Amino acid sequence: MKQIKLNLERNVSSSYDICIGHNILDRIGLIIAKNNGAHRHIVIADSTVSALHGDSFLDILRKMNLTADLIEFPAGEASKNMDTILSVARQLIELGADRSSALIALGGGVTGDIVGFVASIYMRSIPYIQVPTTLVAQVDSSIGGKTGIDLPEGKNLLGTFYQPKGVFIDLQFLDTLPDYEFNNGLAEIVKYGIIDDVTLFDLLENQTEDIKKRDMTLMKRIVQQSCTIKRGIVEIDEKDVGIRRILNFGHTIGHAVEAESGYTISHGDAVSVGMIAAARICQKLDYLPSADRKRIETLIRALDLLDHIPESISTPGILSRIATDKKKKGHIVHFVLLKRIGVPFINGSVADRIIHETIEELRK
């Protein structure tokens, strides 16, 4: 099992370990029992993860003589709302959870965001642990302490920064993860290679077929490298006011495409085509060499991620969503651009004409 320490210098007591391995649930149970000191643990999982892994995870905790219960909510982004928060909080009260209890988020990013949010406000905050079960959650959402829920007006509009006490990543959970969800995680991993680590990018290029087969040794290495990158960014910019924004590479156009499709395009596909759009913009602005732009496009295609914007999604629709985003964020769209693979920078101004031209080029 590999351990990566996330150090928050201004807040040392909030630092924690990210533990990564394959088939390590027993050891996770042992570490939780040894370190956590909570009188009881409440595992929170969505309906899908609860059915697949809930009982076996509870058994592991109980084998360690821990008092453990499980709360379940319906799977899906639609659950990431205030009703779920209130329902979970009331079930916690019913179970008698108090400030000596700890929550465990067993699931994907939706579960992690919900549990982190509840933990940050329940009885003025109680500890929580992340046990991520999707690739997105393993390489991204479980690390960094961003919690939140959606409002009808938009995603992640209510939330807190609240760090978990630990993140335990068992690659074994990927065995039951559908391809659609696996690909969502792959898109974020490609993003890490592009914005931070050319060696990761090389690895992804050279091992595409084994990645698609989910070779576990390789996936462990890739998840470790991804977690190390996310850890490094969070350590510098815990509250997302500076460098953490580079994690939005590909997301400006990607989010607009995803929303304009009515969420029929997956987040991973939307970000993938958004990264291709961003790379093309970088080349048009003479920042990125064309060889790097081509490598990005070739990798995205090789991993079977989306490389074009379907005709059904209108250009004016995408542009208007980017403009709305701009208004919300004070008239500046923070475009993350690249000088080369591994060297990103943030630019507040890309001319609408160039965005428009790039979207049109990405039609098939």
Ligand X SMILES: NC(=O)c1ccc[n+]([C@@H]2O[C@H](COP(=O)([O-])OP(=O)(O)OC[C@H]3O[C@@H](n4cnc5c(N)ncnc54)[C@H](O)[C@@H]3O)[C@@H](O)[C@H]2O)c1
Residues at the interface with ligand X (CB under 6 A):
46, 48-49, 52, 75-77, 80, 107-111, 113, 133-134, 136-137, 140-141, 144, 146, 155-156, 173, 176-177, 181, 184
Q: Is 46 helix (H, G, I), strand (E, B) or coil?
A: strand
Contacts (Cβ under 8 Å, ≥6 apart) of 332: 326, 348, 349
Residue 255 CB, shortest distance to ligand X, in Å, is 11
C-alpha closest to that of 106 among 165, 32, 173: 173
Tell me which amino acid residue 164 is: P
> Which is nearer to ligand X, 145 or 362 (by Cβ)?
145
Nearer to ligand X, 136 or 270 (CB): 136
The least distance separating ligand X from the CB of residue 259, rounded to whole angstroms, comes to: 13
Closer CB to ligand X, residue 48 or residue 228?
48
Do the beta carbons of residue 141 and residue 71 sit within 8 Å? no
Smallest separation, CB 51 to ligand X (Å)? 9
Q: Which is nearer to ligand X, 248 or 358 (CB)?
A: 248
Encoded tokens for 265: 């395009």
Cα 337 from chain centre = 20
Alpha helices in the chain (DSSP H): 25-35, 47-49, 55-63, 82-95, 109-121, 135-136, 179-196, 198-206, 208-212, 216-236, 251-260, 267-284, 290-302, 315-328, 352-361
Encoded tokens for 41: 């643990």
Shortest separation between residue 287's beta carbon and ligand X, angstroms: 26
Which residue lies nearer to ligand X by CB, 54 or 144?
Answer: 144
Residue 284, helix vs strand vs coil: helix
Task: Give the shortest CB-216-to-ligand X separation in angstroms.
Answer: 14
C-alpha–C-alpha distance, residues 338 and 282, integer Å = 6
Nearer to ligand X by Cβ, of 96 and 178: the residue is 178
Closest contact distance (angstroms) between CB of 111 and ligand X is 5
Cα 355 to the center of its chain, rounded Å: 26
State the number of CA atoms in the 13 A half-sphere of 77 facing the CB.
Answer: 10
Least distance between ligand X and beta carbon 45 (Å): 8
What is the C-alpha separation between 51 and 211, in angstroms, rounded? Answer: 27
With respect to ligand X, which residue has the nearer C-beta, 225 or 358?
A: 225
User: In the complex, which residue's CB is closest to ligand X?
Assistant: 109
